[in-house]
């Protein structure tokens, strides 16, 4: 494993920690805001930070080409409007553990799309590692689905397809067009956030947010979104889409630990065993021949 590859892995792993911590913050924020409004405000804050930085760096030249505008819009639609928006909508029909479990099949989507679009074929040991991750996820999140489960499953699966498409399309743009991570992150997020905000505020209206709520939104927007997505796309330049998607599945373990620390949820042997499988599976996927 090269030093550059290791740095990219650590970079992506740090981002998964930031995104895992979002679950604790979002749980608090949802006590006073609806899911779509919360996620829309979060991405509006992040876009207001990234867009000026990208324009100041001269990344606005990307948008002079109409083809790049289409690419950024497609990336934003899949990664933010569809993936993030529908994930929140799925949470209104399913328990969070069920949504998280369903989204852990995203590597399968990425593997198929990666073969078609990127010609990045998963190695045998990577498929075995992904199998361990999915077994661990199944053992950990085996709660039965509640009412409206079929609709919730469908919505969440579409969310997973959106995120898988974002990973593959983003990787494709890095490999083929050699786009800068800042410009790609800022403009795709801007397009996706615009559509997400229009839907959220049209359906739910403008929310009334307390000082604590704004603190959560600003932290989520600045650190867990603007910084995190830039670092994620920076790592995506050097990691295969399939590889980074499985690394993201370690969030299962991180969320469990953070929930134990801050939300008082218990960690039992029945949970520790599948958590270990997720860790080992993700590690196997990263091994090189």
Question: Domain tally for the chain?
Answer: 1
Judge whether residue 52 has pLDDT over 80. Answer: yes
- Confidence band for 127, pLDDT divided at 50, 70 and 90: confident
Range of the domain at 281: 3-286
Q: What is the DSSP string of 94-108?
A: S-HHHHHHHHTTHHH
For residues 82 and 61, what is the distance between their CA atoms, to the nearest angstrom?
A: 26
Judge whether residue 15 has pLDDT over 50. Answer: yes
For residues 181 and 173, what is the distance between their CA atoms, to the nearest angstrom?
A: 10
- Confidence band for 208, pLDDT divided at 50, 70 and 90: confident
Q: What is the pLDDT of residue 141?
A: 66
At 168-182, the pLDDT tens digits run 888 888 777 777 889
Judge whether residue 249 has pLDDT over 90. Answer: no
- What percent of the chain has pLDDT above 90? 36
Output the average pLDDT for the chain: 85
pLDDT: is 88 or 84 the higher one? Answer: 84
Q: What is the pLDDT of residue 143?
A: 60
Q: Please, what sign has the CA dihedral across residues 47, 95, 111, 77? A: negative
Q: State the alpha helices, DSSP H only, in the chain.
A: 3-29, 35-56, 66-76, 83-91, 96-103, 106-117, 124-140, 149-177, 181-204, 211-221, 228-236, 241-247, 251-262, 269-286
- What percent of the chain has pLDDT above 70? 94
State mean pLDDT over 72-91.
90
Highest mean pLDDT among 64-73, 99-108, 257-266: 64-73
For residues 130 and 107, what is the distance between their CA atoms, to the nearest angstrom?
A: 8
At 140-163, the pLDDT tens digits run 766 665 556 778 888 988 999 999
The answer to whether 274 touches 47, Cβ cutoff 8 Å, is: no
For residues 230 and 39, what is the distance between their CA atoms, to the nearest angstrom?
A: 18
At 85-95, the pLDDT tens digits run 888 788 777 76
Q: What is the pLDDT of residue 289?
A: 46
Highest mean pLDDT among 167-181, 200-214, 233-247: 200-214
The answer to whether 39 touches 85, Cβ cutoff 8 Å, is: yes
- Which contiguous run of DSSP H or E holds residue 213? helix 211-221
């Amino acid at each position: 494993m090269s030093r550059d590859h290791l740095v990219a892995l650590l970079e992506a792993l740090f981002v998964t920690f930031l995104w895992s911590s979002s679950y604790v913050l979002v749980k608090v924020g949802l006590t006073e805001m609806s899911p779509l409004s919360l996620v829309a405000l979060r991405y509006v804050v992040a876009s207001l930070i990234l867009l000026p930085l990208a324009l100041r760096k001269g990344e606005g030249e990307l948008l002079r080409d109409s083809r790049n505008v289409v690419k950024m819009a497609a990336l934003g639609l899949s990664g933010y409007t569809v993936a993030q928006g529908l994930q929140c909508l799925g949470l209104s029909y399913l328990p969070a553990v069920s949504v998280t479990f369903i989204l852990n099949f995203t590597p399968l989507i990425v593997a198929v799309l990666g073969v078609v679009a990127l010609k990045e074929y998963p190695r045998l040991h990577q498929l075995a590692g992904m199998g361990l991750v999915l077994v661990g996820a199944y053992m950990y999140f085996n709660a039965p689905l509640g009412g409206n489960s079929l609709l919730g499953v469908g919505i969440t699966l579409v969310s997973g397809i959106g995120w898988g498409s974002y990973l593959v399309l983003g990787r494709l743009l890095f490999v083929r067009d050699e786009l800068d991570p800042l410009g790609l992150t800022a403009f795709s997020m801007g397009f996706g956030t615009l559509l997400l905000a229009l839907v959220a505020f049209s359906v739910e209206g403008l929310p009334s947010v307390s000082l604590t709520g704004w603190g959560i939104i600003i932290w989520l927007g600045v650190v867990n979104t603007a910084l995190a997505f830039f670092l994620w796309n920076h790592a995506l330049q050097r990691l295969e889409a399939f590889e980074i998607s499985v690394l993201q599945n370690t969030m299962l373990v991180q969320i469990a630990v953070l929930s134990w620390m801050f939300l008082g949820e218990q960690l039992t042997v029945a949970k520790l065993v599948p958590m270990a499988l997720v860790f080992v599976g993700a590690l196997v996927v990263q091994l090189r021949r």
